[in-house]
Structure 1
Amino acid sequence: MEKAEVRTWLAVGGLLHDIGKLIDRSGEGRAEEEEKGQFLRAHAVYSYKFLKELLEGKVSKEVEELILSGSYHHKPKPGNLYHLAQHIADLCASSERSLREDIETRKEEKRLKSIFDLVSLEETQKLDKYEYQLRCLELRKDVIFPTEIGKNRETEGKEEYEALLDSLKERLKQLDFRDGHKTLTKLYHLLYKYLWCVPASTYDRERGTKHYPDISLFDHLRVASALASSLWTDYNKKKMQEVENKSVEEKKEAVEFLLVEGDITGIQRFLYLLSNTKGVGKRLRGKSFFLSVLPVILGRFFLRELGYPMVNLLYAGGGKFQFVIGYEEGVEQKLDELQRRVDEVLVKEFGGHLGVVLGWRRFTGKKLGVNELGKKIHELYEETGRKKFQKFSTVLENFDRLVNYLGPDNYEMCPSCQVSLKPEGEEFCKWCKLFQKVGEKIPRAEYVVFSSEMGDLYLEGIGGVSVYAKGQNPYALPDDTLLLLNRTDFEDKADGFFFLANTVPTKEEEGKILVKDFEEMLEEEEEGYKLLAFVKMDVDNLGLIFSQGLKEDYSISRVATLSRSLDLFFSGYINTLLQKEEFKNKVYVVYSGGDDVFFCAPWEIALKVAKEIKKDFTEYTCRNKFFTLSAGVFFQKPTYPIRFGADKAEDEKDIAKAKKNRISLWGYSLSWDAFKNALERLNEFMKNFDVHSHRTLLYRIYTLLRTYKKEGKVSLRFYPMFYYQLHRNIKDEEEQKELEKLILDPKNDYNIRDDAELLLKLVLMKTRGVSERAKEESYILNKGG
């Protein structure tokens, strides 16, 4: 059996090595003393018995031995290298368990603690606040959001474990195990769906301690699986044989791995290289989708070429990918050669606007333990950061030839991206046409297919992806991966599932589902200025959180879990949030994934969506004060080029990020609490004040504020002018008080409120302009005064 095939089946065995823990906690397991002696742990006995029955008549003896090897992870048989690989992989993966203890006493009462609850940028950490319910993964708030410990538990014993186990067992029995690649892919997604919320470990027999359950069984299994396949190198096999009878620490110290990280450069600039020619929305969606899946395409390419299964891809999203492989002589040179191949393709296809830098660190299995790995990963981050200044260094001599491979004749600049050449007579360049074609399918997409040989969006020799809309029959080659989009009920339909933020407003015409353009979105708004809001939001201090937030608990599983959990919110849950009735069919998501989101919507809807995203993100991250969002909002007409809108929203976000955890619009930076309070006061004012009758007055007061405001302070001369206008134009005392309360703070010596100018702008925007003066007001509002 070839090395790559052995690694695949070892990975399958690694994914299933602890299935007995679920059996144990459900109370179904039974083991004789003799069996416990053979496997050392009861849950290992349960794993072996279950797998032995599951594999009966389905696989060859050699494949069966490879899969069953995972059951011997506590006590390998002497001389069996498969067993030893699983044993050392489990030792290395288990060494990242937290050293702290948990207060829960019974294993069946255990619930997974949230990784977000663990993060702190201070010396002390407050833990034991939030946990996950034992439920299959779905993009629902009541499933994926953590809850306060002890609340909303449907049962207090084994019933939930029994329900998970029964459902998982039925699905595992349907696996045919004929193809290692397909089996591994489907198994991976099954375990993700059913075990994402199950604690990996609850008790340490040797130490007699109760583990703090902050790593899921799914994450432990996938890391152990990746490490097991990584041990099948000539170098590591020799090392394992040398230490077979040595101590645990000597075994972990002997084997070596490489942690590899890829960082895609130029994403933001590349995404918005689009002119406002016809079909720009479709091309933007297609580009956004391509950038979302590019980390997966590249991660799959590197692992395929290195001879490793996809389970070794620890993370892919947000413009980055990370994988682990085993050390062997010449592997660094192989990585350099693969980097060169990728550079050539990216330069040829995108002229240097998109690139990837690859960094890696070599370490022993012992370095996977808590307090050990952090330094290596910090070094890895620093290396990829340095390499960003040296991108395309492998192809510099051939750069011009690669960029200009089409030659000077019969080609002209593409009017859409304005960077690539197109044949004379064609409307757009190759990639703009592909992005438009795929972008048209994204809103109705039901499946995606990752392939090494073909795709709607295909990088020659690297790999590609295809999109299939509802009603289309997806086509996949034997080695391709077919994934169901944004749903986890994939078992009878696909090899797994994939999350993608693809929410856009649609309409139906002649039996076809079409995407509304920005002008159509605004036409449906009943009142107010027809302005579009461009909104960008992202997580604050993310680099600091990843480098310092986990402290002594820094580990591969926790970093991968943190990345995966953030991406689950931005790539997956964002679609659920936008299905709320008040937002449904009104928001256009340009991009969302990793740790950031960019969307467009009618301005008033956009402000509500931003507020709701912040509210849900706070809840999703356990109300941890170190997880905050900053947002920038820019208002313009729907015909405004989206790339300029993105730039302006980015500028606003930069203003918000100067103080963090804020939102900025027109240069006004507000805390989220102040923003929420401002919107509430705005709504209250609109209810109690006849804004339409006094719109001219409101505009005059707005201009007074602008006139008497110098260097952020308002002159005292504003007050007599304000009260003159107030009493001259409004006779109703209650309305006078409402307007006075909007502008002045009676609890603070009637000082002008910090948000007074902002609220006046919003009031004027909410009321429809009916005169030439309104055009002037619109100009002032859009110019920021």
Structure 2
Amino acid sequence: MVDENITKEELVIAAWLHDVGKFAQRADIQELYGSKLEGRYCRTTKDGRFTHQHVVYTEGFLNKYKDVLPDNINFEHIKTLAASHHNPSSYFEWIISQADCLSSGSDRCNILGIAECENENQFDEEKEKLRFYEKPMIHILSTLHLDGRAEPEKAFCKMSELEEDSVIPVEKCKTSKEEYKALWEKFVKDFQKLQGLNYDEFLLSLNSLLERYWWCIPSATNSDADISLYQHTKTTAAFAAALYEYHKEENSENELSLRTDGKKFLFINGDISGIQNYIFDLKTSSDNAKLLRAKSFQLWALSEIISQYITRQFGVTYANIMTSAGGKFIILLPNTQKAKKRLEELQLEIEEYFLNEFAGKLTFIVSDGTVASYKDLQKENVISLINKIGDDGDIAKSRKMQKVLKKCGAVLETQYENLQKFGECPKCGIFAARSVEGSDDERQCKSCEKLIEIGGKLVKSAKLVLKSEKLLHFGDMIKLYEWDEDVKFYYSVNDFKPKFPLVTLPYIAPKTENDELLTFEDIANLSKGNKKLAMFKADVDNLGLIFSQSLGERMSFSRYADLSHQLHYFFSGFYSWFVKNKTDQFGEFYKDKIYTVFSGGDDLCVLGTWESVLQFALDFQKELKMFTNNNPSVTISGGIALVNSKLPVRNIADEAEKNLERSKNHIGKNAVTVFGATVSWTEYEKYLSDGKYFAELMRKNELSTGVIYKFIDFANRAEKTLGDKDKIADVSELVNTKDRIWKSNMIYVLARNVKNDELKKRLLAYGENPQEMVKSRIAVSYALYMNRHL
């Protein structure tokens, strides 16, 4: 019989906190131990010992801090459910036990039975030479391995809060009870501040709290300890909610049905389509800085709101958003007929919303869903499942907007009439314009007006309110506040506050002393030498292979989610810290020179003074290497475009994207393209160093502008001798004599004009071959740009 008094809310909270005892036990918090109910919560070995004693610490924790839990929640239910997952004796206890198994992908359990987790007190010390609390969390990025790449070297997470540069791993590490205890004390202090929140608020804030303190704690220490306690508990809560809804809908709330395999789960793929065109297609230069950051923020916010809206529709929780980054998400739902019917309705509803809000310029794809059983979630099958989820997302993309176009037709009559009557908005070219209040000649649409307002507020905002109960006009679903404004419950922006969920937004931009956003022309004028802007676009190489192959037989949904989470944090939270605290080659903070267009998921785009952007590209690539412990399977490629500040943003982005594609086509990728040359990052560092050296000599009048121009000409002529060998059988027949003798001309120029032996040596090395000469364009162009005033 099912205990009808137990609620889904109690089950979900119990799932979130079922392993809090692991943290307490490793910290040796004796005050939480001493239960007389070991036999109830633990199992007994053949020699009479109790196993899985962390559950007793879980009981002790919940006993001590029960007042923190939301009102209208039965504490006794939560305590019993959370502490019984290794020795379940009732239907709801079995749900958490099964969810615990599913989360680990059966790495440490019998998927249709009771989890066979480690006995923490009897850890294999002889084999590992470590006690269970001494084994550190393995940094998952340091373990990824692609075929054909060198084996990676494992690195470890530091025992610290998730903030600033804490995600950078260390090569050697052994944790201690003292470190666990220090982190525990901070966690408990902040946990107590959740008191007074309602259920929904509590879960959002709890997620941020556990992410902050549990990200570096291994869920298990008897095997590869590369799944964080945070990710394991989050995924456990997701499976628990899905199982609850499935068996309730199927009227099969009993242990036998729960432990019987079947297609109980539905994974849906969500994806915003048209991001690049939407962000960069700005028709005028007016308000570009505000519009660009507002659109980037809007895409993040829409993805967050819609994913939460979907979970509400199916009765699951925030934990069921398994991954969310870069405008994409995967959500776990119960696979019931009711859910499938609601999903069809939801697809149409979301398509209709985007058609009305964005007139087809931006669309949102929700897949039909991929069904899965217990067996599909075992580690030997989960890669196939994840690939199938991705394939279903691709199929959904090929059918985007079909439901709404079938219902509404391809002509938006109201918009057409308004466009005919009022003309198009000069800023977006999508909606009808209207006069701007206080201006006789300026016109813009309501959407752009709201985005410009948001773009200005983002610079100053520290509190964010998101409304996901229903889909409204974007401006009605978000609200930004400064610190001194009073708001009851909000997302704290880039600054952890224990009682509130944290959101890391990377939208850093140069501003005035009055906190006003600098225009792109203002930023260009901050450049050294030539007053140019540069845009750097980059993303992680081979991302599909990394997610589908690099974990091999170790793959589980928790590992998949942890990998996504770690990468996203690097490109959002760590990125924000890096830009705010690091300086360029002139000792000037990046935050004062670089404007963030977007960063998150696995990619980024920044715009700033040309010399800072060139240095930033190298510095950020080095940080990624540190983040992965120099893992050769995880690399990044980028493209840099140098432009006039008055050039439309879409043209700047097009140029940067072309250069990024050139880097992606480079053998082995892991490259950057700038000044018409594609080089490896190691080469880029060398040419950038040479460029700084040449620039300094030019400043001292020891290297003439004429020689620099000559070397740019030599690079251009050498490039012609290379030609396009894919299209031309014999390049030499199409190259004139002047281009062929570029090297002898170079030697002559050096003999006549360069007396400095070190300088001559560096320049002469460029003549080794045509490819090297072409690459030298980076160094000499840098020097020329730096001394444009000469």
Q: TM-score range by the shorter chain?
A: 0.7 to 0.9
Residue 384 of structure 2 corresponds to: 375
Residue 44 of structure 1 corresponds to: 55
Residue 183 of structure 1 corresponds to: 202
- Shifted more, 405-414 versus 275-284: the winner is 405-414
Asked whether 1:703 is paired with 2:713, we answer yes
1:698 and 1:2 mapped to 2: Cα distance?
A: 82
- The count of corresponding residues between Structure 1 and Structure 2 is 732
1:8 and 1:633 mapped to 2: Cα distance?
A: 50
Scaled by the length of structure 1, the TM-score of the pair is: 0.87
Q: Which one-letter code corresponds to 2:480 in the other structure?
A: V
1:173 and 1:571 mapped to 2: Cα distance?
A: 28
The equivalences for 1:582-661 within 5 A come to: 582=588, 583-659=590-666, 660-661=669-670
Quote how far apart the aligned CAs of 1:225 are: 0.9
Q: Which one-letter code corresponds to 1:573 in the other structure?
A: F
Check the 8 A contact 1:743/1:752 in 2, yes or no. no
The equivalences for 1:685-764 within 5 A come to: 685-688=694-697, 690-691=700-701, 694-707=704-717, 709-712=719-722, 715=739, 717-730=741-754, 733=755, 735=756, 737-745=757-765, 753-764=773-784
Asked whether 1:671 is paired with 2:671, we answer no
Asked whether 1:18 is paired with 2:19, we answer yes
Quote how far apart the aligned CAs of 1:118 are: 2.3
Check the 8 A contact 2:719/2:770 in 1, yes or no. no
SS at match of 1:418: coil
Quote how far apart the aligned CAs of 1:172 are: 2.6
- Shifted more, 578-587 versus 382-391: the winner is 578-587
Residue 510 of structure 2 corresponds to: 505
Residue 178 of structure 2 corresponds to: 159
1:57 and 1:135 mapped to 2: Cα distance?
A: 24
SS at match of 1:515: coil
Quote how far apart the aligned CAs of 1:652 are: 0.6
Asked whether 1:146 is paired with 2:169, we answer yes
Sort the Cα spacing of 1:680 and 1:407 in 2 relative to 1 into closer, same or farther, 3 A: closer
Give deviations 1:357-407, integer Å, cap 9, x for gaps.
222211123322211221122111111112211101111224447733345
Asked whether 1:70 is paired with 2:82, we answer yes
Residue 295 of structure 1 corresponds to: 303
2:28 and 2:178 mapped to 1: Cα distance?
A: 9
- Shifted more, 18-27 versus 576-585: the winner is 576-585
Q: Which one-letter code corresponds to 1:443 in the other structure?
A: V
Residue 116 of structure 1 corresponds to: 141
Give deviations 1:54-77, integer Å, cap 9, x for gaps.
225975574541454121111223
2:771 and 2:65 mapped to 1: Cα distance?
A: 75
Residue 219 of structure 1 corresponds to: 231
- Given the alignment, which residue of 60, 84, 98 partners 1:88? 98
The equivalences for 1:69-468 within 5 A come to: 69-77=81-89, 80-97=90-107, 103=128, 105-122=130-147, 126=151, 129-138=154-163, 140-141=164-165, 143-150=166-173, 157-176=176-195, 179-202=198-221, 210-233=222-245, 235=247, 241-244=253-256, 251=259, 253-254=261-262, 256-359=264-367, 360-400=369-409, 403-406=412-415, 408-409=417-418, 410-423=421-434, 427-452=443-468, 458-459=473-474, 464-468=477-481
SS at match of 1:362: strand
Sort the Cα spacing of 1:302 and 1:61 in 2 relative to 1 into closer, same or farther, 3 A: closer
1:57 and 1:672 mapped to 2: Cα distance?
A: 51
1:666 and 1:269 mapped to 2: Cα distance?
A: 24
Quote how far apart the aligned CAs of 1:90 are: 1.5
Quote how far apart the aligned CAs of 1:96 are: 4.3
Residue 518 of structure 2 corresponds to: 516
Quote how far apart the aligned CAs of 1:588 are: 0.8
- Shifted more, 652-661 versus 255-264: the winner is 255-264
Give deviations 1:59-109, integer Å, cap 9, x for gaps.
5574541454121111223xx332222122122223443799983531110
Check the 8 A contact 2:382/2:556 in 1, yes or no. yes
Give deviations 1:194-222, integer Å, cap 9, x for gaps.
111001012xxxxxxx2211101111111
In the alignment, structure 1 segments of 5+ residues that lack a partner are 203-209, 477-481, 771-785
Give deviations 1:396-436, integer Å, cap 9, x for gaps.
22444773334514332110011222346772112111111
Q: Which one-letter code corresponds to 2:463 in the other structure?
A: Y
Q: Which one-letter code corresponds to 1:133 in the other structure?
A: K
Sort the Cα spacing of 1:422 and 1:252 in 2 relative to 1 into closer, same or farther, 3 A: farther
Give deviations 1:558-603, integer Å, cap 9, x for gaps.
1111111111111111122112233240111111111111111111
1:675 and 1:666 mapped to 2: Cα distance?
A: 11
Check the 8 A contact 1:344/1:395 in 2, yes or no. yes
2:529 and 2:142 mapped to 1: Cα distance?
A: 42
1:389 and 1:442 mapped to 2: Cα distance?
A: 35
Sort the Cα spacing of 1:361 and 1:411 in 2 relative to 1 into closer, same or farther, 3 A: same
Sort the Cα spacing of 1:4 and 1:769 in 2 relative to 1 into closer, same or farther, 3 A: farther
Q: Which one-letter code corresponds to 1:108 in the other structure?
A: Y
Give deviations 1:461-509, integer Å, cap 9, x for gaps.
xx82222234333465xxxxx1111122x11xx521001111111112x
Check the 8 A contact 1:3/1:307 in 2, yes or no. no
Q: Which one-letter code corresponds to 2:481 in the other structure?
A: Y
2:99 and 2:751 mapped to 1: Cα distance?
A: 79
Sort the Cα spacing of 1:70 and 1:314 in 2 relative to 1 into closer, same or farther, 3 A: same
Quote how far apart the aligned CAs of 1:277 are: 3.7
Give deviations 1:509-539, integer Å, cap 9, x for gaps.
xxx31111222223233x4211111111111
What is the percent sequence identity of the aligned residues?
26
Asked whether 1:682 is paired with 2:691, we answer yes
2:193 and 2:280 mapped to 1: Cα distance?
A: 45
Check the 8 A contact 1:233/1:327 in 2, yes or no. no
Q: Which one-letter code corresponds to 2:131 in the other structure?
A: R
Quote how far apart the aligned CAs of 1:294 are: 1.9
Quote how far apart the aligned CAs of 1:319 are: 1.3
SS at match of 1:408: helix
Sort the Cα spacing of 1:277 and 1:124 in 2 relative to 1 into closer, same or farther, 3 A: closer
- Shifted more, 611-620 versus 391-400: the winner is 391-400
1:280 and 1:600 mapped to 2: Cα distance?
A: 12
Residue 780 of structure 1 corresponds to: none
Check the 8 A contact 2:261/2:375 in 1, yes or no. yes
Q: Which one-letter code corresponds to 1:214 in the other structure?
A: D
SS at match of 1:233: helix
Quote how far apart the aligned CAs of 1:276 are: 2.4
- Shifted more, 742-751 versus 25-34: the winner is 742-751
- Given the alignment, which residue of 462, 467, 486 partners 1:473? 486
1:418 and 1:136 mapped to 2: Cα distance?
A: 46
Check the 8 A contact 2:68/2:192 in 1, yes or no. no
Quote how far apart the aligned CAs of 1:7 are: 2.8
- Shifted more, 558-567 versus 101-110: the winner is 101-110
Asked whether 1:54 is paired with 2:56, we answer no
Scaled by the length of structure 2, the TM-score of the pair is: 0.86
Sort the Cα spacing of 1:423 and 1:53 in 2 relative to 1 into closer, same or farther, 3 A: same
Check the 8 A contact 1:531/1:636 in 2, yes or no. yes
Higher strand share: 1
CA RMSD in angstroms, aligned pairs only: 3.1
SS at match of 2:477: strand
2:611 and 2:4 mapped to 1: Cα distance?
A: 58
